[in-house]
Structure 1
Amino acid sequence: METSEPLKPFLLAFPGPLRDRLVAAVLSGEKVMTSGLLMEYEVEREELPPVGERSALIDSHGQEVAVVELTEVRVLPLGSVGLRHVLDEGEGHTSVAEWRAGHEAFWHSEEMREALGDPSFTVDDGTMIVAERFRVVERLV
């Protein structure tokens, strides 16, 4: 009998209303990309995920709601994010400036600064981000 390893969690934002909106956007097919700070991987001492990796999308209640597969992983400076990236994030932003303002508010939040261990953390055009494109391969709910 074959046993499979549990999937790594695919976490969007922190539990709460923002995560709920993002998970709903993934499940509806609107969100096919997400961005995180490279510094998060460095702080957690994690390797970047490889293309093809499958993970369990987790909702605010800790429930696995879908299996997603990474189709692209890129590291790029925040200042080079373009409109296609913004639209593929599926968060309703219609301009890079609007997307950036929303992401800066999140990345400058007390919760994120605490997670990074830097109470004065800020981003600028040169801040490196990890852009992950994915697809839902299985809905679990």
Structure 2
Amino acid sequence: MTDQPLRERLRTALLRARKERDATATSALRSALAALDNAEAIPPETMPAAGAIEAAPLGVGASEAARRQLSDDEVAEILRREVAEREEAAAQIDATHPERAGELLSEAAVLATLVPEGTPRSEEIEAFWREAVRHARFDGVPGYVPGSTLAVVPPPSWSFGGTPEQADELLRLVLDGAKTATASALWDYEAEGEPLPEVGGLGIVLDSEGRPRALLATTRVDVVPFDQVTEEHARLEGEGDGSLAHWRSEHERFFGEFAAHDRGFARDMPVVCERFTVLHTA
């Protein structure tokens, strides 16, 4: 059960609540699922411009809203906020409408049972995101609309590399302005069932201790065979002497040592080459 995606757990809980005729749980779960649906909708103004056919989702008509897939972390964060909103509303009306306040607290309790325990740094990440929303310039970032659910929920957070030392060293290069690109094995994304990065996607980079240090926005994504990664990309990664030879040597070792898949290393293995810009740092 713990391996079931959080959204599916919500749907399962809703079916059970309806079967048991639990009006409180049914109302809370329907509302939470509706909040997730709203968060997944990409506003029309952020759709690709005319001519950008390769970036447009397939099967989306003029009257349909494009969708994005929320990660489990994003779903959990929205659930936490659904719980908090009910608890805050209950506190505000408890004196004047105690019955309704009790209903809100009951709904909050239903949702709270489905919220995963947060990481020790979750509050620090939320505080970092609030600061970024206030100070960063999001001009040209697709999908970001001030005041929307997506603007409230922190984007995914992660660290570079496969060891604490690599995490801090690569982060330092980013903060120094030397690193504006990264690369990952496509086979890792497939093995872990993770979506590929998209232009406009946001991410919070953590240091080796899990502290949020930089907010990045993806500006370009290319998938190419390992042996066709360009000298320009190697230079933008900012590691070592910046040469393609150094990039190939280090990444052949890295892709072999820290692979999430079991396909080994191959000179023609597909590599996700991602470029990014730094929007905010701590």
Q: TM-score category by the smaller chain?
A: 0.7 to 0.9
Report which of the two has the higher share of helix: 2
Instruction: Assess if the C-alpha contact under 8 Å between 1:49 and 1:73 holds in 2.
Output: yes
One of 62, 70, 73 as aligned partner of 2:218: 70
Superposition pairs of residues 1-141 of structure 1, within 5 angstroms: 4-109=152-257, 112-113=258-259, 115-116=260-261, 118=262, 121-124=264-267, 126-139=268-281, 141=282
Structure 1 stretches of 4+ with a deviation exceeding 3 A read none
Q: Give 5+ residue unaligned stretches, structure 1.
A: none
Which has the higher relative contact order, 1 or 2, with Cα contacts under 8 A spaced 6 or more apart?
Answer: 1
Q: Write the distance in 1 (CA, Å) between the matches of 2:242 and 2:278.
A: 23
Instruction: Assess if the C-alpha contact under 8 Å between 1:15 and 1:59 holds in 2.
Output: no
Instruction: Assess if the C-alpha contact under 8 Å between 1:15 and 1:61 holds in 2.
Output: no
Q: Write the distance in 2 (CA, Å) between the matches of 1:81 and 1:8.
A: 26
What TM-score comes out, normalization by structure 1 length? Answer: 0.87
Equivalent AA in structure 1 for residue 206 of structure 2? I
Greater Rg over alpha carbons, structure: 2
Indicate the percent of aligned positions where both proteins have the same amino acid: 34
Partner secondary structure for residue 200 of structure 2: coil
What TM-score comes out, normalization by structure 2 length? Answer: 0.45
Report which of the two has the higher share of strand: 1
Instruction: Assess if the C-alpha contact under 8 Å between 1:86 and 1:93 holds in 2.
Output: no
Q: Write the distance in 1 (CA, Å) between the matches of 2:161 and 2:224.
A: 20
Equivalent AA in structure 2 for residue 11 of structure 1? S
Query: How big is the alpha-carbon RMSD for the aligned residues of Structure 1 and Structure 2?
Result: 1.7
Query: How many residues of Structure 1 are paired with residues of Structure 2 in the alignment?
Result: 134
